[in-house]
Amino acid sequence: MRKYLGAFSGAVLLASCTAMPPASPIRLEHCLDLYMLWARYGQHPTFHHTGQRARAELALEECRGGRYKAGIEELTELLVRNRISIPAVDFGSSE
């Protein structure tokens, strides 16, 4: 019985360490909007080896993983670098 209790508590501890933060639909939608804006206007059709596409996709994955701040900052930097105006967003007072 003790062996099972130890294994169970270890599994619970491991699951709590890898738990994702709660999803924020507003922030995820903002991140997706920034990514789509970059994909539409910032991605150059002939210069594929600038690394921006990889950076944008990794930033989107950051957002999908719940790390909104890092993903939005990266996408914002890519948009600013390409001189694309960024739409304002109101996250409301709940966040």
pLDDT value at residue 95: 46
Rg (the chain; Cα; Å): 19
Instruction: Render pLDDT for 32-49 as a digit per residue (tens, 0 to 9).
Output: 999 999 998 887 766 666
Instruction: Render pLDDT for 37-94 as a digit per residue (tens, 0 to 9).
Output: 999 888 776 666 678 888 999 999 999 999 999 999 999 999 998 888 887 777 665 4
pTM of the model: 0.68
91 closest CA partner among 65, 64, 61, 69? 69
Q: Is a pLDDT exceeding 50 seen at residue 30?
A: yes
Please give the Cα distance from 95 to 74 (Å, whole number): 20
The answer to whether residues 31 and 75 touch, using CB atoms and an 8 Å cutoff, is: yes
